[in-house]
Structure 1
């Protein structure tokens, strides 16, 4: 089976593999040859795969995994970092991905707060001018 890992900027992996391990919200799972068609949303995690007796790793920042009718696996992700040392990927890359994800969540929360404040002000102005039939 063929594995493709792509980001918006690059094709990170394109190779024939024997097996793959990944993680979605329900937990870790494996894929072997002749797997049924499959679609899942991946979490921030490390994907591993085997080619002969060698194991390879790639840290991903979430994404979508599909297995098509021919058994080929495609992973589309926002960011991916390859590595042959699991300890380095786990300690460095996943920590950085988690920090960036937390910063994005905080920015999103602040954006929603600003939007709600604008809506509140619009409603208060509509309420004051409701007798006039106009928006000020």
Structure 2
């Protein structure tokens, strides 16, 4: 099977002769052999491992992504970030920890941005209706502000 692993910035693996591949999705680890049925899954943050036709083992840490199998002969992985390496222990500890930390930081940043957005909306409502007291962001349905009738 041919294997392609790509990020938005680079082609990490292209054309490896894969005899067996192991990856993980939210349900756990799974394996792929030549002739596998067409398949599509969302990968977890994990290490993808495969053996080539010579029996050599290869590893790439992936920051989630999508894996597809087509015609039992082509495996394609699209991921935000991928780090190849021969040291499986390092990939499983350092690299995956870094990926998980980045995900956590991104979630925190999105939450902070959402809070700022809601605070800005509240300020706009307060500026547009300065004599209204007790207006909360939860009461912004049409017709709910003083002076707005149906």
TM-score normalized with structure 2 length: 0.80
Which consecutive residues of structure 1, in runs of 5 or more, have no partner in the other structure?
none
The correspondence of residues 89-100 of structure 1 with structure 2, limited to 5 A, is: 89-100=91-102
Matched residues in 2 for 1:83 and 1:132: separation?
Answer: 63
Residue aligning to 1:3 = 3
The correspondence of residues 74-93 of structure 1 with structure 2, limited to 5 A, is: 74-93=76-95
Residue aligning to 1:29 = 30
Change (3 A) 1:60 1:132: closer
Matched residues in 2 for 1:61 and 1:99: separation?
Answer: 11
* C-alpha displacement of 1:69: 2.2
Matched residues in 2 for 1:95 and 1:132: separation?
Answer: 52
**Does structure 2 conserve the Cα–Cα contact (< 8 Å) formed by 1:63 and 1:77?**
yes
* C-alpha displacement of 1:114: 1.3
Residue aligning to 1:121 = 123
Change (3 A) 1:11 1:130: same
Residue aligning to 1:39 = 40
Matched residues in 1 for 2:127 and 2:73: separation?
Answer: 59
1:131 aligns with 2:133: no
TM-score normalized with structure 1 length: 0.88
1:107 aligns with 2:115: no
* C-alpha displacement of 1:92: 1.5
Change (3 A) 1:30 1:131: same
Which consecutive residues of structure 2, in runs of 5 or more, have no partner in the other structure?
133-144
**Larger Cα-atom Rg:** 2
